[in-house]
Structure 1
Amino acid sequence: MKYSQEITIDAPIQKVIQLFDDPDQMDKWMKGLISFEHLSGTQGQPGAKSKLKFQMGKREIEMIETITVRNLPHEFSGTYDAKGVHNIVKNYFEEISENQTRYTTENEFQMKGFMKIMAWLMPGAFKKQSLQYLKDFKAFVERTNS
């Protein structure tokens, strides 16, 4: 399953990147994030691996992030692996004006086992969650920017 989404953030691209690129800020906009733990490689650089834990309803989900591209302020991409799910996420940032930034994500989910059934039954749930993270990040940046 592949899809892309975008949102316009009312803040300069430098501010957007500064907040996006700071793992200590993630819990302020990424609902359900319990912890972020660097595992290997140079943090924030291609090849680096980190473990993210999320509380989603009554379930705790653990995933491994592997950074694949770091070309900030334009692109930051990676893979996210959890039980039955391999997600490729490409984040793109574009300066619209000195006070506006377009943030676009491209997601590709590759499912195995039970998660294949979930993706087939509820594809909208994945898109809805991705869009919610975009909206929450936008609100966080704009609150911090004012």
Structure 2
Amino acid sequence: MTYTTEIIIEKPLEEVIKKMNSTENMKHWQEGLVSAEHISGSPGEFGAKMKLNYDFGKRKMELVETITKQDFPSEFHATYSTKGMRNIQQNYFESTDRGHTRWICKNEFQPTNFMMNAMLFLMPRAFKKQTKTYMGNFKNFAEKGTSVAHA
């Protein structure tokens, strides 16, 4: 399944990228993120791997992020792998005429087992909704400093 989501962040591109390119900031916009642990490569650079642990109450999830392209301020691409699913994500950032930032996020979800294939088929909106939620959370964090991190 492939889809593209877009959002306008009412902050300059440089400010958005500074907040986006920070592992420390991830907890402020990625709800459920418990930890982010560097595994290999130079952090934030092409080929770097990071383990991300999430806790959604009854459901826990571990993802491995592999950076496939890092060309800030315009692009950041990564692959996220977890049991049963791979998400190939391409993020593009550009300045608008009003000095704001347009964030375009292209996602391709590839199930790697039958269960996740069925879930993708039966609940495609859940994946899109999660992407929109994280993008909205980031917008609120970048514009207003609003954090989803639990105290």
Indicate the residue corresponding to 1:5 in structure 2. Answer: 5
Give 3-state SS (helix, strand or coil) of 2:131's partner: helix
Q: Deviations over 1:96-128 (max 9, x none)?
A: 036300001000000022000001110000000
Q: CA RMSD in A?
A: 0.9
Q: Which amino acid counterpart does residue 138 of structure 1 have in structure 2?
A: K
Task: Answer with 54-63 or 16-25: which moved more.
Answer: 54-63
Give 3-state SS (helix, strand or coil) of 2:110's partner: strand
Runs of 4 or more above 2 Å deviation: none
TM-score by length of 2: 0.93
The aligned runs of 1:1-146 (5 Å cut-off) are 1-97=1-97, 99-111=99-111, 112-144=113-145
Give 3-state SS (helix, strand or coil) of 2:128's partner: helix
TM-score by length of 1: 0.96
Give 3-state SS (helix, strand or coil) of 1:97's partner: coil
Instruction: State the distance in 1 between where 2:97 and 2:36 align.
Output: 32
Instruction: State the distance in 1 between where 2:7 and 2:131 align.
Output: 11
Instruction: State the distance in 2 between where 1:38 and 1:18 align.
Output: 19
8 Å CA contact 1:13, 1:98 repeated in 2 = no
Give 3-state SS (helix, strand or coil) of 1:136's partner: helix
Instruction: State the distance in 1 between where 2:87 and 2:116 align.
Output: 12
Q: Identity rate of aligned residues, in percent?
A: 45
Q: Deviations over 1:20-43 (max 9, x none)?
A: 000001001110000000000000
- 1:57 Cα offset (Å): 3.3
Q: Which amino acid counterpart does residue 92 of structure 1 have in structure 2?
A: Y
Q: Which amino acid counterpart does residue 105 of structure 2 have in structure 1?
A: T
Instruction: Give the aligned length.
Output: 144
Decide whether aligned partners of structure 1 residues 87 and 12 sit closer, same or farther in structure 2, where only a CA change above 3 A counts.
same
